[in-house]
Amino acid sequence: MKRSLLNGAWAAVCAYCLMNIYLGPQGILATRDARVSVEAMTENIETLRELNDGYSAVWDALRHDARTIALEGRALGYLARDEVAIRLSIASRSASPPGPGKRLIFTPKAVLSESASKLAALAMGLLVVAFGLILSPRRGSSVDSDRI
């Protein structure tokens, strides 16, 4: 009886550990999903950094370079005294690319919750105890009946 209980407890602990290592909230599968999200976020940060550097260069040029200020003014429709406006219908490119800057949300994915893994480990332990009790030789059943 004692041996069956110890085997059941050992099986329950092993089942709980193995389930949490692979399927748990901090298990192998959840870590793999987190790593994919980290790579996507790192790529997004790098793209945003490049965009920010480009915008900083344009901002500095608009604050300090007279030629850039004049070009931007002409693009907005301002003309010097001796200039004539000529409009060309050329399709302009989009102001910002659609991908960078989108919000990336990380939600941890656990295949098996903590309570479900505890419940499954308990069931495994109880099954091992039950099989141990069923398969163990019973004391006094056949040996005592032969003495009479």
Q: Answer yes or no: are the C-beta atoms of 120 and 23 closer than 8 Å.
A: no
- Which amino acid, residue 46? E
Whether the predicted model's global pTM rises above the 0.75 cut: no
Distance, CA of 20 to CA of 29 (rounded, Å): 10
pLDDT tens, 106-121?
A: 777 778 888 888 999 9
All structural domains of the chain with their residue ranges? 1-27+110-136, 35-107
pLDDT tens, 74-85?
A: 888 788 888 887
Distance, CA of 32 to CA of 112 (rounded, Å): 15
- Residue-wise burial string across 102-132, b where 16 or more C-beta atoms lie within 10 A, e elsewhere: eeeeeeeebbbeeeebbebbeebbeebbeeb
3-state secondary structure of 81: coil
